[in-house]
Amino acid sequence: MHHNGKKCRECGHTLPIGMTQCKNPKCRAWNIGASIRVDDSTVLMSEVTSESVERIPTGLVDLVFGGGKGIARTSVNLLAGEPGAGKTTLSLQLCDVFTDYFQGKEALYIANEQSSDEITETGGRLILRNRSRIRIVKAMGGVTHDIGDLLMHYKPCLTILDSITKWAGEDMALAVLIAQRIKDYCVVLNSPAILVNQVTKGGDHSGLEKLQHAVDMTAMFDIMLGSIDEEGNEIPPSKSPRRLMSSKNRFGPAPEEQYYNMTESGLVLTKKMAA
Protein backbone atom coordinates (compact mmCIF):
# COMPACT_ATOMS: atom_id res chain seq x y z
CA MET A 1 0.00 0.00 0.00
CA HIS A 2 1.33 3.44 -0.95
CA HIS A 3 1.96 5.93 1.81
CA ASN A 4 1.97 9.72 1.63
CA GLY A 5 4.57 10.35 4.33
CA LYS A 6 2.09 11.89 6.76
CA LYS A 7 2.10 10.54 10.28
CA CYS A 8 -0.80 9.78 12.60
CA ARG A 9 -0.88 12.53 15.18
CA GLU A 10 -1.81 9.99 17.88
CA CYS A 11 0.67 7.13 17.36
CA GLY A 12 3.02 8.27 14.59
CA HIS A 13 2.01 5.44 12.24
CA THR A 14 2.43 6.36 8.54
CA LEU A 15 -0.92 7.11 6.86
CA PRO A 16 -1.84 5.62 3.45
CA ILE A 17 -2.33 8.14 0.63
CA GLY A 18 -5.74 9.76 0.80
CA MET A 19 -6.62 8.13 4.11
CA THR A 20 -7.35 10.00 7.33
CA GLN A 21 -7.94 7.03 9.65
CA CYS A 22 -4.87 5.39 11.11
CA LYS A 23 -4.41 1.74 10.02
CA ASN A 24 -2.60 0.81 13.22
CA PRO A 25 -5.08 -1.67 14.83
CA LYS A 26 -4.08 -0.41 18.27
CA CYS A 27 -4.85 3.21 17.33
CA ARG A 28 -7.45 3.68 14.53
CA ALA A 29 -7.53 7.40 15.27
CA TRP A 30 -9.10 9.81 12.76
CA ASN A 31 -6.65 12.46 11.62
CA ILE A 32 -9.33 14.85 10.42
CA GLY A 33 -8.28 18.46 10.69
CA ALA A 34 -4.64 17.63 11.22
CA SER A 35 -3.66 19.62 8.13
CA ILE A 36 -6.12 22.49 8.56
CA ARG A 37 -4.37 25.81 9.12
CA VAL A 38 -6.06 27.98 11.73
CA ASP A 39 -6.88 31.39 10.28
CA ASP A 40 -9.55 34.08 10.47
CA SER A 41 -12.06 32.29 8.22
CA THR A 42 -14.26 31.25 11.14
CA VAL A 43 -16.03 33.22 13.83
CA LEU A 44 -18.30 32.35 16.74
CA MET A 45 -21.81 33.74 16.40
CA SER A 46 -21.52 35.13 19.93
CA GLU A 47 -18.57 37.26 18.78
CA VAL A 48 -20.55 38.97 16.01
CA THR A 49 -22.54 42.06 16.95
CA SER A 50 -24.30 44.74 14.94
CA GLU A 51 -21.53 47.09 16.03
CA SER A 52 -19.08 44.84 14.16
CA VAL A 53 -20.43 46.17 10.86
CA GLU A 54 -18.29 49.16 9.98
CA ARG A 55 -20.25 52.05 8.49
CA ILE A 56 -19.33 55.24 6.71
CA PRO A 57 -21.37 58.30 7.76
CA THR A 58 -22.32 60.44 4.76
CA GLY A 59 -24.59 63.14 6.16
CA LEU A 60 -26.77 62.49 3.13
CA VAL A 61 -28.31 58.99 3.09
CA ASP A 62 -27.46 57.59 6.52
CA LEU A 63 -31.03 56.97 7.71
CA VAL A 64 -32.17 55.12 4.58
CA PHE A 65 -28.95 53.18 4.00
CA GLY A 66 -28.14 52.29 7.59
CA GLY A 67 -30.72 53.35 10.16
CA GLY A 68 -28.92 56.64 10.77
CA LYS A 69 -25.46 55.11 11.15
CA GLY A 70 -24.21 55.29 7.56
CA ILE A 71 -23.46 52.96 4.65
CA ALA A 72 -22.17 49.52 5.63
CA ARG A 73 -18.72 49.06 4.11
CA THR A 74 -19.40 45.68 2.47
CA SER A 75 -22.93 46.46 1.29
CA VAL A 76 -24.37 46.31 -2.22
CA ASN A 77 -27.23 48.79 -2.60
CA LEU A 78 -29.84 48.90 -5.36
CA LEU A 79 -31.02 52.42 -6.21
CA ALA A 80 -33.91 52.96 -8.62
CA GLY A 81 -35.74 56.04 -9.81
CA GLU A 82 -37.42 57.57 -12.81
CA PRO A 83 -35.32 59.57 -15.30
CA GLY A 84 -34.49 62.99 -13.92
CA ALA A 85 -34.99 62.02 -10.28
CA GLY A 86 -31.33 62.69 -9.51
CA LYS A 87 -29.75 59.24 -9.23
CA THR A 88 -26.56 60.41 -10.94
CA THR A 89 -26.44 63.54 -8.80
CA LEU A 90 -26.85 61.54 -5.61
CA SER A 91 -24.26 58.98 -6.72
CA LEU A 92 -21.68 61.63 -7.57
CA GLN A 93 -22.24 63.45 -4.29
CA LEU A 94 -21.66 60.17 -2.44
CA CYS A 95 -18.46 59.64 -4.44
CA ASP A 96 -17.32 63.06 -3.21
CA VAL A 97 -18.18 62.19 0.40
CA PHE A 98 -16.33 58.87 0.26
CA THR A 99 -13.20 60.34 -1.32
CA ASP A 100 -13.25 62.97 1.44
CA TYR A 101 -13.45 60.23 4.06
CA PHE A 102 -10.82 57.99 2.45
CA GLN A 103 -7.98 60.31 1.54
CA GLY A 104 -5.77 58.75 -1.12
CA LYS A 105 -8.53 56.43 -2.40
CA GLU A 106 -10.57 56.77 -5.57
CA ALA A 107 -14.27 56.23 -6.23
CA LEU A 108 -15.13 54.25 -9.36
CA TYR A 109 -18.07 55.31 -11.51
CA ILE A 110 -18.93 52.71 -14.17
CA ALA A 111 -21.00 54.71 -16.65
CA ASN A 112 -22.96 52.98 -19.39
CA GLU A 113 -26.01 55.27 -19.34
CA GLN A 114 -24.15 58.53 -19.99
CA SER A 115 -20.87 59.52 -21.59
CA SER A 116 -17.87 60.49 -19.49
CA ASP A 117 -18.30 64.06 -20.77
CA GLU A 118 -21.89 64.18 -19.48
CA ILE A 119 -20.86 62.76 -16.11
CA THR A 120 -17.99 65.27 -15.89
CA GLU A 121 -20.33 68.15 -16.74
CA THR A 122 -22.67 67.10 -13.94
CA GLY A 123 -19.70 66.88 -11.58
CA GLY A 124 -18.68 70.40 -12.53
CA ARG A 125 -22.17 71.74 -11.81
CA LEU A 126 -22.14 70.05 -8.42
CA ILE A 127 -18.80 71.69 -7.57
CA LEU A 128 -17.39 68.38 -6.33
CA ARG A 129 -14.30 68.76 -4.18
CA ASN A 130 -12.61 65.54 -5.27
CA ARG A 131 -13.10 65.31 -9.03
CA SER A 132 -9.45 64.29 -9.36
CA ARG A 133 -10.23 61.09 -7.41
CA ILE A 134 -13.53 60.09 -9.05
CA ARG A 135 -12.59 57.73 -11.86
CA ILE A 136 -15.11 57.20 -14.68
CA VAL A 137 -15.13 53.87 -16.51
CA LYS A 138 -16.37 54.60 -20.04
CA ALA A 139 -18.73 51.69 -20.59
CA MET A 140 -21.40 52.96 -22.98
CA GLY A 141 -20.26 50.56 -25.67
CA GLY A 142 -19.38 47.84 -23.19
CA VAL A 143 -16.32 47.56 -20.98
CA THR A 144 -13.05 46.24 -22.36
CA HIS A 145 -11.96 44.78 -19.02
CA ASP A 146 -13.61 42.33 -16.64
CA ILE A 147 -15.47 44.20 -13.92
CA GLY A 148 -13.68 42.21 -11.22
CA ASP A 149 -10.29 43.06 -12.71
CA LEU A 150 -11.23 46.74 -12.66
CA LEU A 151 -12.27 46.61 -9.03
CA MET A 152 -9.17 44.72 -7.92
CA HIS A 153 -6.89 47.05 -9.89
CA TYR A 154 -8.28 50.36 -8.63
CA LYS A 155 -9.50 49.16 -5.20
CA PRO A 156 -12.11 51.94 -4.96
CA CYS A 157 -13.58 53.22 -1.69
CA LEU A 158 -17.00 53.30 -3.43
CA THR A 159 -18.24 51.75 -6.66
CA ILE A 160 -21.17 53.07 -8.71
CA LEU A 161 -22.62 50.97 -11.53
CA ASP A 162 -24.91 53.18 -13.60
CA SER A 163 -26.76 51.14 -14.57
CA ILE A 164 -27.14 47.41 -13.94
CA THR A 165 -30.23 47.48 -16.17
CA LYS A 166 -28.28 48.73 -19.18
CA TRP A 167 -25.53 46.20 -18.51
CA ALA A 168 -27.78 43.15 -18.26
CA GLY A 169 -30.57 44.19 -20.63
CA GLU A 170 -33.56 41.88 -20.36
CA ASP A 171 -31.46 39.07 -18.86
CA MET A 172 -32.38 39.19 -15.19
CA ALA A 173 -30.26 36.11 -14.46
CA LEU A 174 -27.25 38.12 -15.66
CA ALA A 175 -28.28 41.10 -13.52
CA VAL A 176 -28.40 38.84 -10.47
CA LEU A 177 -25.00 37.37 -11.35
CA ILE A 178 -23.50 40.85 -11.69
CA ALA A 179 -24.92 41.87 -8.29
CA GLN A 180 -23.58 38.71 -6.68
CA ARG A 181 -20.12 39.18 -8.19
CA ILE A 182 -19.94 42.80 -7.07
CA LYS A 183 -20.99 41.72 -3.57
CA ASP A 184 -18.03 39.31 -3.46
CA TYR A 185 -15.64 42.14 -4.38
CA CYS A 186 -17.25 44.51 -1.86
CA VAL A 187 -16.41 42.01 0.87
CA VAL A 188 -12.84 41.52 -0.35
CA LEU A 189 -12.21 45.26 -0.78
CA ASN A 190 -14.24 46.30 2.29
CA SER A 191 -15.97 49.00 0.26
CA PRO A 192 -19.62 49.39 -0.77
CA ALA A 193 -21.31 49.61 -4.14
CA ILE A 194 -24.43 51.28 -5.48
CA LEU A 195 -26.16 49.64 -8.45
CA VAL A 196 -28.46 52.02 -10.28
CA ASN A 197 -31.59 50.32 -11.55
CA GLN A 198 -34.42 51.37 -13.84
CA VAL A 199 -38.05 51.45 -12.85
CA THR A 200 -40.86 49.49 -14.47
CA LYS A 201 -44.00 51.09 -15.90
CA GLY A 202 -45.63 50.23 -12.59
CA GLY A 203 -43.05 52.36 -10.78
CA ASP A 204 -41.12 49.53 -9.13
CA HIS A 205 -37.57 48.25 -9.45
CA SER A 206 -36.85 46.34 -12.64
CA GLY A 207 -36.48 42.66 -11.73
CA LEU A 208 -36.82 43.43 -8.02
CA GLU A 209 -38.09 40.00 -6.98
CA LYS A 210 -34.91 38.31 -8.17
CA LEU A 211 -32.45 41.11 -7.56
CA GLN A 212 -33.44 41.88 -3.97
CA HIS A 213 -31.98 38.57 -2.82
CA ALA A 214 -28.60 39.45 -4.35
CA VAL A 215 -28.30 42.91 -2.74
CA ASP A 216 -28.32 44.21 0.83
CA MET A 217 -30.53 47.26 0.43
CA THR A 218 -33.13 48.43 -2.08
CA ALA A 219 -34.24 52.04 -2.33
CA MET A 220 -36.42 54.19 -4.60
CA PHE A 221 -35.65 57.81 -5.47
CA ASP A 222 -38.82 59.75 -6.36
CA ILE A 223 -39.72 63.22 -7.58
CA MET A 224 -42.47 64.62 -5.35
CA LEU A 225 -44.64 66.03 -8.13
CA GLY A 226 -47.36 68.53 -7.30
CA SER A 227 -45.40 70.23 -4.53
CA ILE A 228 -46.38 73.83 -3.82
CA ASP A 229 -44.02 76.68 -2.94
CA GLU A 230 -44.59 79.33 -0.25
CA GLU A 231 -46.47 81.54 -2.72
CA GLY A 232 -48.89 78.77 -3.63
CA ASN A 233 -47.37 78.00 -7.03
CA GLU A 234 -46.68 74.47 -8.21
CA ILE A 235 -42.98 73.69 -8.22
CA PRO A 236 -41.68 72.40 -11.59
CA PRO A 237 -40.42 68.78 -11.62
CA SER A 238 -36.77 69.78 -12.01
CA LYS A 239 -36.91 71.67 -8.68
CA SER A 240 -39.48 69.53 -6.88
CA PRO A 241 -38.44 67.83 -3.62
CA ARG A 242 -37.05 64.30 -3.84
CA ARG A 243 -37.79 61.34 -1.59
CA LEU A 244 -35.40 58.46 -0.95
CA MET A 245 -37.17 55.45 0.57
CA SER A 246 -35.84 52.00 1.38
CA SER A 247 -37.94 48.85 1.07
CA LYS A 248 -35.39 46.28 2.31
CA ASN A 249 -32.19 46.60 4.28
CA ARG A 250 -29.95 43.95 5.84
CA PHE A 251 -27.98 46.63 7.66
CA GLY A 252 -30.79 48.72 9.10
CA PRO A 253 -34.53 49.12 9.55
CA ALA A 254 -36.82 49.43 6.54
CA PRO A 255 -38.79 51.19 5.29
CA GLU A 256 -37.04 54.46 6.04
CA GLU A 257 -37.26 57.69 4.09
CA GLN A 258 -35.38 60.95 3.67
CA TYR A 259 -36.24 64.09 1.71
CA TYR A 260 -34.11 66.46 -0.34
CA ASN A 261 -34.32 69.75 -2.18
CA MET A 262 -32.76 69.79 -5.64
CA THR A 263 -30.57 72.89 -6.03
CA GLU A 264 -28.19 74.12 -8.71
CA SER A 265 -25.27 72.64 -6.77
CA GLY A 266 -26.93 69.33 -5.91
CA LEU A 267 -29.19 67.61 -3.42
CA VAL A 268 -29.62 69.16 0.01
CA LEU A 269 -31.07 67.06 2.82
CA THR A 270 -34.21 68.53 4.35
CA LYS A 271 -36.01 67.37 7.49
CA LYS A 272 -39.47 67.58 6.02
CA MET A 273 -41.13 67.28 2.67
CA ALA A 274 -42.23 70.51 1.05
CA ALA A 275 -46.00 70.95 1.16
Phi then psi dihedrals of residue 238, to 5 deg: -65, -25
pLDDT digits (tens, 9 = 90+) for 91-112: 999 999 999 999 999 999 999 9
pLDDT digits (tens, 9 = 90+) for 64-91: 999 999 999 999 999 999 888 999 999 9
pLDDT at 162 over 80: yes
Q: How far apart are CA 164 and CA 171, in angstroms?
A: 11
Question: Within 13 Å and on the Cβ side, how many CA atoms surround 248?
Answer: 17
User: What domains sit in the chain, N to C, each tagged with a CATH number?
Assistant: 1-42 (no CATH), 54-270 (3.40.50.300)
Q: How far apart are CA 97 and CA 228, in angstroms?
A: 31
Is the Cβ–Cβ distance between 240 and 223 less than 8 Å? yes
Beta bridge partners of 3: 16
Q: How far apart are CA 94 and CA 256, in angstroms?
A: 18
pTM: 0.79
How many CB atoms are closer than 10 A to CB 220?
24
Q: How far apart are CA 135 and CA 110, in angstroms?
A: 8
